[in-house]
Structure 1
Amino acid sequence: MEINEIKDFQVAENFTKYVQIDTQSDVNSPTVPSTEKQKNLSRVLVEELLALGISDAHLDEKGYVYATIPSNSTKKVPVICFCSHVDTSPDSSGTDVKPLIHKNYQGQDLVLPDDQEVVIRFAEHPDLKEQIGNDIVTASGKTLLGADDKAGVAEIMDAARLLMKHPEIKHGDIKILFTPDEEIGRGVDHVDLKKLGADYGYTMDGEKAGTLEDETFSADGVQLKIDGISIHPGYAKGKMINALKIAADIIENLPKNRLSPETTSGKEGFVHPTSISGSVEEAQVNFIIRDHDSQKLASHEAELEAIVKKVIANYAGAKYSFKVSEQYRNMKEVLDQHPRVVDIAMMGIERAGMKAIKRSIRGGTDGSRLSFMGLPCPNIFAGGHAFHGKQEWVSVQDMQKAVLTILHIAALWEEVA
């Protein structure tokens, strides 16, 4: 059977099952994984993989699922990994998700029944124009959907089933990796690449069908701590130095018309305060620093620290500390050294019947860090849209195209070996 003749997909059934399992991660938790409930889905995935005959599927104590679809080729084929994350964003509730399938979509606004003020409007979601006649999956209005990244999980699982069912699709060893805590930046903190044993990888965590992302932001974090002086407010004249007011003053002095998420697009970078906390005596502001050009991060951080110094100078006796931590780097720096991993993905997308579109992400993926850890790993579409909120949606047909793309990539690596 030709790959594109496959019709017996189960990806929609997988997806609607998985999104009902709450896997929200928690940035404030020190545990690994950050929430134990992420393992509830991971255990289901291991059971399903074992039932397919993938005998080494297992969940480790850190919340990672590893599995191998054995090679059925006589060739020496590079080992390929497909990876997705099981957790959903802390930005919107992932509890009691009710997936709804809107069959044969005809361009109407989608009013979500559990909160009719949540409307997915055709005019506000331009990608819906390409979905006429398709089946759209949404949540019910009270939660996010979880397409980020349970669409990717469902696609990898269906592709695994089809590879086991269709031995005529020749491939090398295929590794499967499901990670926790991607949404809070810890997705590959504890991955065992030696155990995984892959040469190249693909995260199934992108958006629009047909897209491949080989370039991400480079990212740093800045932790700014401000030391003030606390005095009883009734006797504070000339003595109190309010750290919270200094923090607010620093934020107020950030650039207004540039270098912020609200005023940048494309490959422009930004400095973005993400949280502020503390008291009169001590305050903390956390920033994320982003740019596609890694060299520009230092200049953005220098500009931020110059603002801090200028403001602090107005508060005699105040002190500060400025800690920069590396988060991830633009995966293009690695992928440009391994062009075949991107070329084969583009060919796989084309063979699945789509126009392949290469683009950059104004963000990052597990693939960013995996690439720098030694596993070159571009990001392939999973089909979801409007991530992290109640208007999130995905097309069943786009998920099916992602399954076909995985099958074609697996076959292409064997073909060119």
Structure 2
Amino acid sequence: MTRFPDFDRALETRLVTYCAIDSQSDETSSNQPSTDIQLDMQNHLVAELQRIGALDVTLTEYGAVLATVPATVAGCPTIGFCAHVDTAPQFNATGVKPRVHKAWDGANITFPDNADLHLGTDMSDYLASKVGDEIITASGLTLLGADDKSGVAIIMTLAEHLLNTPDLKHGKIRLAFTPDEEIGRGVDERLSAEFGADFAFTLDGSRAGSIEFESFSADSAVVQITGVSAHPGFAKNKLVNALHIAGKIIGDLDVDGETPETTDGRDGFIHVYDMAGGSSEATLKFILRDFEMDGLEARRQRLRQVCEDAKNAFPGAKVSCEITKQYRNMRYWLEKDMTPVDLARDAYSAEGLDPRSVPIRGGTDGSRFTELGIPCPNLFTGMQEIHGPLEWISVQDMAMATRICLRLVEAAAR
């Protein structure tokens, strides 16, 4: 079995450094990338890539960082590795203070900035299996950002090792660090051509051993409601309250029991995640998810029908529903050529892991890359409890993922 050096220290240092750099995305922004602070992270990566000797280091005009690790043997496929630098907008991600719990002893992990929180083995069987590992959390007021800065740290550590080990046989390796993945804008249409990989892997998964080649198909929707405004003291038979219409739409959708909190496995859903406005005008934002296109189409039609019913129930109101494509189930393309999935499974087995594939109840940049012609399944990093203050990761899981990637590039060069 191939032996690799101990990557733990490099991964820990990188992740702590990266997580402390604010890089939250913002779906309300039309800029590209959506926030300037993501460029702080990207500029840090550009400097680091140049320092470790990567070639073709580029910060694109749409905010992605690209780089090359040159081949040491000819005639091999070009393999890409991708991770996203933005953190989720659903929870506070400003002023992250990463904490490293060395050789964690299994006791409850507490949070200095939030005494009401704790993280313990009673909450997670997976955490219970990590006694003795280095566990990294935030301080209690923010998410950590291991989603997906752990993927960034793994890819950077992989690249540094390859650049420092010229006798290791591998083909050309392309690296991509994307902004705005959390808001569905991670893969600009120019990126797949500029990436230039034959196939690729995102490092954006959770438990060790997971390899994902099936994701949701996804759309977003914006419902605009215009009521009829009137003075509330003289509103009888005049006022049409936009918030009441919004309430009807949400309530009618909930009747079906197809919201995120009532679904799992292969169930799809319609999720209202934002409401803004007042009695005169209101806006609802939705995401629509299903693993199959006919299921997604049914949800589109369901939302449109509920909006039409609400408009008819409130004469004088205006209700519009605009639905936008986001990404599609990567399985539709990967099932035609499972080469990258098979390579990953072999690498997992060589590392002593039992490969497990379950559908992602979400999506990755790999969903878009795959649709655009670069087969791109998703590999684990170890991240857990993402998008909230209990987010944590094991450094040893990250090290295992790094070794997996090295086995992949070696196998592809045989």
- Both proteins in one fold, TM over 0.5: yes
Answer with 278-287 or 133-142: which moved more.
Answer: 278-287
Mapped partners of 2:49, 2:110: distance in 1: 36
Aligned to 1:226: 225
> What letter corresponds to residue 382 of structure 1 in structure 2?
T
CA distance in 2, matches of 1:160, 1:398: 18
**What SS does the corresponding residue of 1:124 show, helix, strand or coil?**
coil
Q: Which runs of 5+ in 1 are unaligned?
A: none
Report how far residue 18 of structure 1 moved: 1.0
Matched, 1:193 2:195: no
Tell me what 1:356 maps to: 355
Question: Residue 8 and residue 183 in structure 1: after superposition, are their counterparts in 2 closer, same or farther (change >3 A)?
Answer: closer
Equivalent residue letter for 1:29? S
Query: The residue matched to 1:46 in structure 2 has which SS?
Result: helix
Shift of 1:8: 4.8
**Correspondence 1:9-88 to 2 at 5 A:** 9=8, 10-74=10-74, 76-88=75-87
Q: Per-residue deviation at 1:247?
A: 1.0
Give the counterpart letter for 1:102 in structure 2.
H
Q: In structure 1, the residue corresponding to 2:253 is in which secondary structure?
A: coil
CA contact (8 A) 2:146 2:391 kept: yes
Partner of 1:182: 181
Deviates more, 1:208-217 or 1:300-309: 300-309
CA RMSD in angstroms, aligned pairs only: 1.6
The answer as to whether partners of 1:24 and 1:90 remain within 8 angstroms in 2 is yes
- Deviation larger for 399-408 or 97-106: 97-106
Contact 1:101-1:136 at 8 Å conserved across structures: yes
Determine the structure 1 residue equivalent to 2:104.
105
Note if 1:335 corresponds to 2:334: yes
Aligned pairs for 1:17-416 (under 5 A) are: 17-74=17-74, 76-189=75-188, 191-256=190-255, 258-415=257-414
Residues 129-156 of structure 1 show CA distances to partners (whole Å, capped at 9, x for unaligned) of 2212211111111221110001000000
SS at match of 1:326: strand
Letter in structure 2 aligned against 1:24: Q
Tell me by how many angstroms 1:335 deviates: 0.7
Q: Which amino acid aligns with 2:42?
A: S
Q: Deviation per CA, 1:82-106: give whole Å up to 9, x if none.
A: 0001111122222222221112223
**Does structure 1 retain, via aligned residues, the 8 Å contact 2:106–2:120?**
no
- 1:165 deviates by 1.5
How far 1:225 sits from its partner (Å)?
A: 2.0
Displacement of 1:307: 2.5
Q: Is the 8 A contact 2:55 2:70 kept in 1?
A: no
Is the 2:108–2:121 Cα contact (8 Å) retained in structure 1? yes
CA contact (8 A) 1:62 1:190 kept: no
Letter in 2 for 1:71: A
| Distance (Å, rounded) in 1 between the aligned partners of 2:7 and 2:221 | 49
Separation (CA, whole Å) in 1 of partners of 2:20 and 2:275? 33
**Residue 389 of structure 1 aligns to which amino acid in structure 2?**
G
Cα distance change on mapping 1:257 and 1:295 into 2, 3 Å: closer
| Runs of at least 4 residues off by over 4 Å | none
TM-score by structure 1 length? 0.95
Query: Where does structure 2 lack aligned partners over 5 or more consecutive residues?
Result: none
Shift of 1:257: 5.7
For the residue of structure 2 that corresponds to 1:122, the secondary structure is coil
Q: Evaluate the alpha carbon distance shift between residue 106 and residue 223 of structure 1 in structure 2; reply closer, same or farther with a 3 A threshold.
A: same
Letter in 2 for 1:55: L
**CA positional deviation for 1:41:** 1.6
Moved more, 249-258 or 266-275: 249-258
Q: TM-score, normalised by structure 2?
A: 0.96
1:188 counterpart letter in structure 2: V
What do residues 273-306 of structure 1 show as CA deviations (whole Å, max 9, x unaligned)? 1222233333222211111112111112222333
Quickly say closer, same or farther: Cα 1:315–1:189, change in 2 above 3 A.
same
SS in 1 for 2:270: strand
Letter in 1 for 2:113: D
Task: Please say if residues 3 and 407 of structure 1, whose CA atoms lie closer than 8 Å, have aligned partners that are also in contact.
Answer: no
Amino acid at match of 1:170: K
Bigger mean CA offset, 268-277 vs 155-164: 268-277
Matched, 1:4 2:9: no
CA contact (8 A) 1:3 1:404 kept: no
Query: What is the identity, as a one-letter code, of the residue corresponding to 1:244?
Result: L
Report the Cα distance in structure 1 between the residues aligned to 2:293 and 2:5, rounded to whole angstroms. 43
Structure 2: distance between partners of 1:271 and 1:8: 42
Distance, in Å, in 1 between the alignment partners of 2:111 and 2:23 is: 22
- Report if the CA contact (8 A) 1:4-1:352 is conserved: no
SS of residue in 2 equivalent to 1:359: coil
- 8 Å CA contact 2:64–2:177 kept in 1: the answer is yes
CA distance in 2, matches of 1:117, 1:370: 41
1:109 positional shift: 1.2
Of 219-228 and 170-179, more deviation after overlay is shown by: 219-228
Cα separation, 2, equivalents of 1:3 and 1:137: 28
Aligned-residue offset at 1:125: 1.8
> 1:92, 1:279 → 2: CA distance?
24
Cα–Cα, structure 1 residues 3 and 62, in superposed 2: closer, same or farther, change >3 Å? farther
Cα distance per residue 1:217-274 (max 9 Å; x no partner): 1111222222321122222211221122111112122234621111111000111112
Cα distance, 1:190 vs. partner?
A: 5.3
Most deviating of 359-368 and 256-265: 256-265
Secondary structure at 2:368's aligned position in 1? helix
Deviates more, 1:341-350 or 1:182-191: 182-191
| Secondary structure at 2:370 match in 1 | helix
Cα distance in 1 for residues equivalent to 2:7 and 2:33: 34
Cα distance in 1 between the residues matched to 2:193 and 2:7: 35
